[in-house]
Structure 1
Amino acid sequence: MGNTRNGREARTDRKESAKDRAEEWEKLTTVQKLQQLVDKGHAHTKYAKKLRQDIVDARLKKGDV
């Protein structure tokens, strides 16, 4: 099997790109995270609902509502 090295490199590349995506995700604000989920069609997930609730809670705390 001559492709084990290529497979290993591909796995490493995927891990690195996943780390990069995770770092980018952490830099986003809650509203930006929610917008990305909505754009990708994941607006109905528990995580999206939690983000929405976090936004509402922050607004209530700030007095914007």
Structure 2
Amino acid sequence: MAPETTLPEPVNLTDPYAHNDPAPSPDCDVCAELVKQGREARESGDLSKVTDCLVEISRHSHGRRT
């Protein structure tokens, strides 16, 4: 019997651009700047920087002590 070389069903990949961005704090200057930088990076096609900004927003304490 020959080995099977195909998948039984199609592979469904997720859209890498369809994601939920972290919500920046509305009263945080750092978040506002990161949103601005992320928007500019997305417009210029620098998706690595977009990701960096999103990660920093999600990890940022918004002025609260952790």
In the superposition, the TM-score normalised over structure 2's length comes to 0.27
If each structure's helix is expressed as a fraction of its own residues, which one has the higher value?
1
In the superposition, the TM-score normalised over structure 1's length comes to 0.28
Q: Which has the higher contact order (CA 8 A, sep 6+)?
A: 2
